[in-house]
Amino acid sequence: MSVLFEPLTIRGMTVPNRVVMSPMLMYMAGPDGTATDLHLVHYGARILGGVGMVMTEVIAVSPDGRISTSDLGLWEDGQIAGIARIAEFAHAHGAKAGVQLAHAGRKSTAQERIVAPSALPYSDFSVPHALEPDEIARIVEDYRAAAERAVRAGFDCLELHVAHGYLLHEFLSPIANTREDDYGGSIANRARIVFEVVAAIRDAIPESVPLFVRLSAEDVVPGGLTEEEATWVASRLVDAGVDLFDISTGNITPGYAGTVYPAYQADHARRLKDALGVATATVGSVSSPELADYLVSSGAVDLVFVGRALLRDPHWTLHAAKQAGIDLPLAIPTYARATGPYERGF
Ligand SMILES: Cc1cc2nc3c(=O)[nH]c(=O)nc-3n(C[C@H](O)[C@H](O)[C@H](O)COP(=O)(O)O)c2cc1C
For the cut 80, the answer to whether the pLDDT of residue 344 exceeds it is: no
What is the pLDDT, as a whole number, of residue 262? 97
The residues facing 280 across adjacent strands are 245
Residue 256 included in any domain: yes
Tens of pLDDT, residue by residue over 123-133, are 999 999 999 99
For the cut 90, the answer to whether the pLDDT of residue 170 exceeds it is: yes
Residue 287 included in any domain: yes
| Ligand 1: nearest atom to the Cα of 163 | 11
Give the pLDDT band (50/70/90) at residue 204: very high
Q: Is the dihedral of CA 70, 71, 72, 78 positive or negative?
A: negative
Percent of the chain with pLDDT over 70: 99
Ligand 1 mean position, distance from CA 255 (Å): 14
Across 298-309, average pLDDT: 98
Ligand 1 mean position, distance from CA 25 (Å): 7
Residue 1 included in any domain: no
User: 244 and 280 in contact (C-beta within 8 Å)?
Assistant: yes
Tens of pLDDT, residue by residue over 64-107, are 999 999 999 999 999 999 999 999 999 999 999 999 999 999 99
Residue 2 included in any domain: no
Q: Would you say the CB of residue 21 lies under 6 angstroms from ligand 1?
A: no
Across 29-49, average pLDDT: 97
Q: Would you say the CB of residue 262 lies under 6 angstroms from ligand 1?
A: no
Range of the domain at 110: 8-338
What is the pLDDT, as a whole number, of residue 180? 98
| Neighbour count for residue 323 (Cβ, 10 Å) | 13
Residue 333 included in any domain: yes
Spatial distance between the Cα atoms of 87 and 39, rounded to a whole number of angstroms: 12
Residue 3 included in any domain: no
For the cut 90, the answer to whether the pLDDT of residue 273 exceeds it is: yes
Q: What total of structural domains would you count in the chain?
A: 1
Residue 53 included in any domain: yes
Spatial distance between the Cα atoms of 343 and 346, rounded to a whole number of angstroms: 8
Q: Would you say the CB of residue 161 lies under 6 angstroms from ligand 1?
A: yes
Q: Taking each helix axis as running N to C, give the angle between helix 227-239 and helix 192-204, from 0 to 180 degrees, rounded to the nearest 10.
A: 30
Tens of pLDDT, residue by residue over 215-264, are 999 999 999 999 999 999 999 999 999 999 999 999 999 999 899 999 99
Percent of the chain with pLDDT over 90: 92
What is the pLDDT, as a whole number, of residue 1? 58
For the cut 70, the answer to whether the pLDDT of residue 346 exceeds it is: no
Read off the CATH number of the domain in which 57 is found.
Answer: 3.20.20.70
What is the pLDDT, as a whole number, of residue 294? 97
Candidate from 20, 24, 161, 265 with most ligand 1 atoms within 8 A of CB, to mutate = 24
Q: Would you say the CB of residue 193 lies under 6 angstroms from ligand 1?
A: no
Q: Is the dihedral of CA 300, 199, 90, 208 positive or negative?
A: positive
Across 158-163, average pLDDT: 98
Helix or strand holding residue 19 (H, E) = strand 19-21
